[in-house]
Amino acid sequence: MISSDSNAQVKELVKLQKNARERRKKQLFISEGIKLTKEAALYGKLEKIYVAESFYEKAEETVKQWIEEYPYEEVADTVFSGISETVTPQGILGLVKMPSYHLEEILNDERKSIILLDDLRDPGNLGTIMRTAEGAGMSGVVMSRGSVDLFNPKVVRSTMGAIFRVPFYYADDLAEVIEQTKAKGIPVYGTMMQGSVVYDEPDYCTGAGIVIGNEANGLSQEVIGHLTGAVRIPMEGNLESLNAAVSAAILMYEITRQKRKKLS
Q: Which residues bind a copy of itself (CB under 8 A)?
A: 124, 128, 131-132, 134-137, 158, 160-162, 165-166, 198, 200, 233-243, 245-246, 249-250, 253, 256-257, 260
Compare residues 37 and 180 and give the one whose CB is closer to a copy of itself: 37
For 181, phi then psi, to 5°, come to: -65, -45
Compare residues 8 and 87 and give the one whose CB is closer to a copy of itself: 87
The CB-of-255 to a copy of itself minimum distance in angstroms stands at 12
The CB-of-204 to a copy of itself minimum distance in angstroms stands at 14
By three-state DSSP, how is residue 47 classified?
Answer: strand
Q: How far is CA 127 from CA 73, 108, 196, 202, in A?
A: 28, 24, 29, 27
Q: How far is CA 159 from CA 17, 44, 105, 134, 152, in A?
A: 16, 18, 21, 9, 11
- Helix (H) or strand (E) holding 29, with range, is strand 28-32
The CB-of-72 to a copy of itself minimum distance in angstroms stands at 25
The CB-of-57 to a copy of itself minimum distance in angstroms stands at 26
Pairing status of strand 72-75 against strand 46-52: parallel
Compare residues 48 and 165 and give the one whose CB is closer to a copy of itself: 165
How many degrees, rounded to 5, is the angle at CA 151 between CA 149 and CA 153?
Answer: 105
Give the span between the Cα atoms of 156 and 160, in whole angstroms. Answer: 7
Compare residues 23 and 131 and give the one whose CB is closer to a copy of itself: 131
The CB-of-257 to a copy of itself minimum distance in angstroms stands at 6
Compare residues 159 and 180 and give the one whose CB is closer to a copy of itself: 159
